[in-house]
Structure 1
Amino acid sequence: MVFLVLVVNVISASPLMKNPLRSYRSRSILPIPVGTSPSVVDSIAAGTQLAIEHCQHAFQWDRWNCPKSTFTRQHKLLPTRETAYAKAIVAAGIVYEITRNCSRGSIEGCGCDQSLGGPPTHLPNHIYIENSTELLSSLVQEVPNLQNTSKWSWGGCSDDPSYAIEIAQRFLNALDKDMKPAAYVARHNSKIGSETASFGEISRKLKERYRQSERLSYETVEKSMYVENTAKHEMMEKEVEGMESSLVYLEQSPDYCVLNTAEGISGTKGRMCSRNTNSTMAAERNSCRNLCKKCGYTVKRLKKTVSKRCNCTFEWCCEVKCDTCQENVDEFFCV
């Protein structure tokens, strides 16, 4: 799967969210044929936004906190493990939204669980969106084509992500003709993200796979891609296939402590950290040390007064009434 140029619009809350099809066409970003289902484009936009929100939540206490530059500068990003995670979660978000909307009957021409019967259905022509390297940049998704024996049924059935994967493939698989190592690795990582449509679960699992991600050498990838089908080639293929459930990357991560505008890195100076020792998240408990002290900064405490609901009561029937209370809280920043 590839990162979408449309992500720029999703983040900036542009007219895309109100009328995605019109925004795409007016900016000449997508070669969308007349008659393409707007519900498909809506699902892709919503899935991308969902992925961004989950990504930023998952990494809010890390040095790399899933900044907007990850999505708006995808064509300039190094193939690091952070990029691998971002690509995978966007793949998951798109597949999740399309799957959910298919099962609701919101997308014309698709249904869900094969076991519920119904005549075989081919992907409707009006849903097809042509490949575009302008749209897809350099990332690609490799998903096996569906067999024509698949059966679909309208609403009231369990989610089946296979249809969503096919749409995502058609929309996102502008394959890099040169098949450079970065594109090869991107195909792998986005396939990891599209394996399931249970988004809460995949979000958590992808964070685990991010921590366990494995580095490939350019030489290994290039040989696996180009060497003839010899015993040596098969051996290298097995090395890559052995990582089929892992996120993989080619470049070591840059220093996220320091501002680097050329790479879209904002640094950790000015970032908020937490001294909530009761947090269940290790990243939050250790955030002041990892974001500030280990990056060469000190921790500054600021007092802040916040308003919150308090003294809430339930009145029959059926209303909850609350007072508004002022509370002094401490906030901590890297300076």
Structure 2
Amino acid sequence: MKLFWKVLCALLLLVEAVMGNWWNLAAPNRPVQSSNTSVETFTTLHKESCHRLEYLVERQKQLCMLSDKMVQVIQTGAQQAIDECQHQFRNSRWNCSTVDNSTDIFGGVLKFKSRESAFVHALSAAALAHTVARACSRGELNECSCDARVRKRTPRHWQWGGCSEDIRYGEKFSRDFVDAKEDKDNDEGLMNLHNNEAGRRAVRGRMQRVCKCHGMSGSCSVRVCWRRLPQLRLVGDVLSTRYEGASHVKVVERKRGKNIRKLRPLHPDIKKPNKTDLVYLEDSPDYCEPNDELGILGTRGRTCNRTSAGLDGCRLLCCGRGYQTRVRDHEEKCRCRFVWCCRVHCEICRSKRDHHVCN
């Protein structure tokens, strides 16, 4: 299964193995080994661990071996993507739940070429580009730094300065790493490549220009500006909207000297998706009932909102099975007041609240 998350699970194991051994050498209350031998030993261990990962293609192994810092950045990107996915799907029937002790972190859900798979691939590619670009600007990677190319422009009323975050390098690394295992001659690979790029474009298209004024008495005679990455939450919100409007497509082959494979709308009356849209090839599986084989937990026992008509409402989230209302004790701070000097004193107010749970 050519899935980015399968690779990331393996990389998480790599980080545990490599970094665990490293911290054993530099444990508390022991002198830090700074000799060339220790560095060479760690470097060799790191490269051997990358080489042994069976889920990586050759190009991914090369990127993995760049440095142990790069592996940490990839791990951070993976965790941020999982957290953002679970935030965006917190009220949905599939809430982006993960499976422990598995190389398929989302169970078998991504075996379906569904809109959920489209979202996860787009978000993972975006998160990796975002994390790598941010690590570059913070000086955490030797392979990159701030984006110097942006300074070649000559705007009228302001000038480039500061440290612009290098989204170009972030995109390049994400494309190099994430896309390496996808086969454009395969239907799933063609879909994943499209969604990966859509995720990266969601980051690039929301880069922000930030300026700081300089001059006598706040005259702002000179403005120094730089480019800053958007918050990943904003990217997640954008991709969530595109998930809702994802295009159901099919693969069309055309022969013009050589076979050309394109994604086209399943129905001719639907507009052709552009490069920022998410696309999917199959309908989603049933998320209402538990499915151990696919790692689907179902919605029984999930908390629902009785008054909502949205996805978090009891009617939709409980899949028509109904719900139970339970009364729970609720505590919160109340009647807070300032006490001289200098603290705030609050009382604890207790109340009973209805709690609705899916049958």
Q: 1:243 aligns with which of 234, 258, 274?
A: 274
C-alpha offsets along residues 224-277 of structure 1, whole Å, 9 cap, x if unaligned? 5xx3447x959x578797432211111111121122222222221221112355
Q: Which letter maps to 1:207?
A: S
In structure 2, the CA distance between the partners of 1:201 and 1:251, relative to structure 1 (3 Å rule), is same
In structure 2, the CA distance between the partners of 1:54 and 1:178, relative to structure 1 (3 Å rule), is closer
Q: 1:310 aligns with which of 327, 334, 337?
A: 334
Contact 1:9 1:16 (C-alpha < 8 Å) held by counterparts: no
Which one scores higher on RCO, CA 8 angstroms, separation ≥ 6?
1
For 2:67 and 2:355, the matched residues in 1 are separated by: 47
For 1:94 and 1:187, the matched residues in 2 are separated by: 15
Q: Which runs of 5+ in 2 are unaligned?
A: 23-44, 153-159, 204-228, 266-270
In structure 2, the CA distance between the partners of 1:329 and 1:60, relative to structure 1 (3 Å rule), is same
Does residue 346 of structure 2 align to residue 322 of structure 1?
Answer: yes
Name the counterpart of 2:311: 283
In structure 2, the CA distance between the partners of 1:78 and 1:171, relative to structure 1 (3 Å rule), is same
Q: 1:262 aligns with which of 293, 303, 308?
A: 293
Q: Which letter maps to 1:283?
A: L
- Range with greater deviation from structure 2 (155-164 or 82-91): 155-164
1:205-244 aligned within 5 A: 205-218=238-251, 220=252, 223=253, 227-229=255-257, 242-244=273-275
Aligned-pair CA distance for 1:20: 11
Secondary structure, counterpart of 1:84 in structure 2: helix
RMSD value, Cα: 3.8
Aligned-pair CA distance for 1:47: 1.5
Secondary structure, counterpart of 1:4 in structure 2: helix
Name the counterpart of 1:133: none
In structure 2, the CA distance between the partners of 1:324 and 1:116, relative to structure 1 (3 Å rule), is farther
1:54-93 aligned within 5 A: 54-69=84-99, 71-73=105-107, 77-93=111-127
For 1:111 and 1:103, the matched residues in 2 are separated by: 5
For 2:68 and 2:94, the matched residues in 1 are separated by: 34
1:1-335 aligned within 5 A: 2-5=3-6, 7-8=8-9, 15=16, 25=49, 28-29=52-53, 31=61, 36-69=66-99, 71-73=105-107, 77-113=111-147, 114-116=149-151, 156-177=162-183, 179-195=185-201, 196=203, 197-198=229-230, 199-218=232-251, 220=252, 223=253, 227-229=255-257, 242-275=273-306, 282-284=310-312, 287-292=313-318, 295-315=319-339, 319-335=343-359
Q: Which letter maps to 2:72?
A: D
Contact 1:20 1:42 (C-alpha < 8 Å) held by counterparts: no
Secondary structure, counterpart of 1:216 in structure 2: strand
Percent identical among aligned pairs is 29
Instruction: Give the greater-gyration-radius structure (CA).
Output: 2
Aligned-pair CA distance for 1:86: 0.9
In structure 2, the CA distance between the partners of 1:194 and 1:324, relative to structure 1 (3 Å rule), is same
Contact 2:129 2:200 (C-alpha < 8 Å) held by counterparts: yes
Contact 2:311 2:317 (C-alpha < 8 Å) held by counterparts: no
Secondary structure, counterpart of 1:325 in structure 2: strand
Give the structure-1-normalised TM-score.
0.71
Contact 2:133 2:165 (C-alpha < 8 Å) held by counterparts: yes
In structure 2, the CA distance between the partners of 1:261 and 1:35, relative to structure 1 (3 Å rule), is closer
For 1:331 and 1:214, the matched residues in 2 are separated by: 36
In structure 2, the CA distance between the partners of 1:201 and 1:269, relative to structure 1 (3 Å rule), is same
Aligned-pair CA distance for 1:212: 0.8
Q: Which runs of 5+ in 1 are unaligned?
A: 118-152
In structure 2, the CA distance between the partners of 1:275 and 1:16, relative to structure 1 (3 Å rule), is farther
Contact 1:112 1:159 (C-alpha < 8 Å) held by counterparts: yes
Secondary structure, counterpart of 1:302 in structure 2: strand
In structure 2, the CA distance between the partners of 1:10 and 1:275, relative to structure 1 (3 Å rule), is farther
For 1:6 and 1:42, the matched residues in 2 are separated by: 14
For 2:263 and 2:257, the matched residues in 1 are separated by: 10
Give the structure-2-normalised TM-score.
0.67
Name the counterpart of 1:143: none
